Amino acid sequence: MVTKHLTYAQIEKVPLVAVITLKNIAQAVPLAEALKKGGLTNLEITLRTPIALDVIRLLRDEFPDLNIGAGTVTDPNLYRQAKAAGAQFMVSPGATPELLVEAAKYHEIPFYPGVCTPSEMLLAESYGFDHVKFFPAEALGGAKTLKAIAAALPNISILASGGITEGDLADYFNVSSVYAVSGSWFIAQDLMNAGRWDEVEILTRSAVIATKNARSKALKK
Ligand SMILES: O=C[C@H](O)COP(=O)(O)O
Ligand SMILES: CC(=O)C(=O)O
């Protein structure tokens, strides 16, 4: 069983991860600044664009106080490249045995294998990963599905992602095994393209406050 890493604990402090896909590297620093001012510290840079590894390197240099991870880490080679770029955590939409073996070599870097089913959760756990990403959460039935799974697999911690918006947060955090959510609903591409960073900051602050409220209400139950 994986011990609780520093970065798992860091995500748990503000249990919200921004999922960021950037095509323009000039947006990286102003976006990270807006997210940071809004109170968010966990940034997942998806490896879906050619600049993604450069963005990770840049943000690690510029924001030593933020938790910068890599998303869409779909094979061992991408895992190694993201590690070399300085990613502090790794996320995948799904996982192959080869990827799980590679990630298991570096348990100091938290890895969230993507899962859809209890079988995939058990497979991830058998490689030592008890924190997984449930993706695409809303399309898979969202909190209702997770509640049913948590009844049988209460020790697998869930990062829920995919189609989640602010109004869904209470439902997710009411599921005992959900420890964090991730998404992009507060990072509107049109605001970024227009350089309206103040508005990104406002949306981020709202998402952070809603996340903290949803979790603290759930913990009091
Ligand atoms: O990694 C996850 C998703 O791409 C984030 O989902 P979202 O863009 O639907 O919030
Ligand atoms: C969707 C997802 O989990 C990823 O891109 O990493």
Q: What are the boundaries of each domain within the chain?
A: 13-219
Is 72 touching ligand 1 by the criterion CB < 6 Å?
A: no
Rg, the chain, Cα only: 16
Q: Which numbered ligand comes closest to the C-alpha of 163?
A: 1
Ligand nearest to the CA of 19: 1
Whether 83 sits among the annotated catalytic residues: the reply is: no
Whether residue 162 contacts residue 133, with contact meaning beta carbons closer than 8 Å, is answered with: no
Residue 133 a catalytic site member? yes
Closest Cα to atom 3 of ligand 1:
162
44 pairs with which residues across the strands? 19, 69
> Would you say the CB of residue 162 lies under 6 angstroms from ligand 1?
yes
Q: Which residue is catalytic, options 44, 102, 125, 138?
A: 44
Nearest CA owner, ligand 2 atom 4? 72
Whole-angstrom distance, CA of residue 143 vs CA of residue 34: 29
Q: Is the CB of 185 under 6 A from ligand 1?
A: yes
Q: For position 56, what pLDDT does the model report? A: 98
pLDDT of residue 81: 98
- The token duo for 3 is 């011990």
Per-residue pLDDT of the chain (221 residues; tens, 9 = 90+): 344 556 677 777 789 999 999 999 999 999 999 999 999 999 999 999 999 999 999 999 999 999 999 999 999 999 999 999 999 999 999 999 999 999 999 888 999 999 999 999 999 999 999 999 999 999 999 999 999 999 999 999 999 999 999 999 999 999 999 999 999 999 999 999 999 999 999 999 999 999 999 999 888 87
Residue range 13-219, CATH number: 3.20.20.70
| pLDDT value of residue 1 | 39
Report pLDDT for 135: 98
Residue with tokens 């969230």: 112
pLDDT of residue 5: 58
Write down the ipTM of this complex. Answer: 0.94
Nearest to 34 by CA among 9, 59, 6: 59
- Kindly state if the Cβ of 137 falls inside 6 Å of ligand 2: no
Give whole-number Cα distances, 116 to 46, 64, 128, 153, 176, in Å. 19, 33, 17, 13, 18
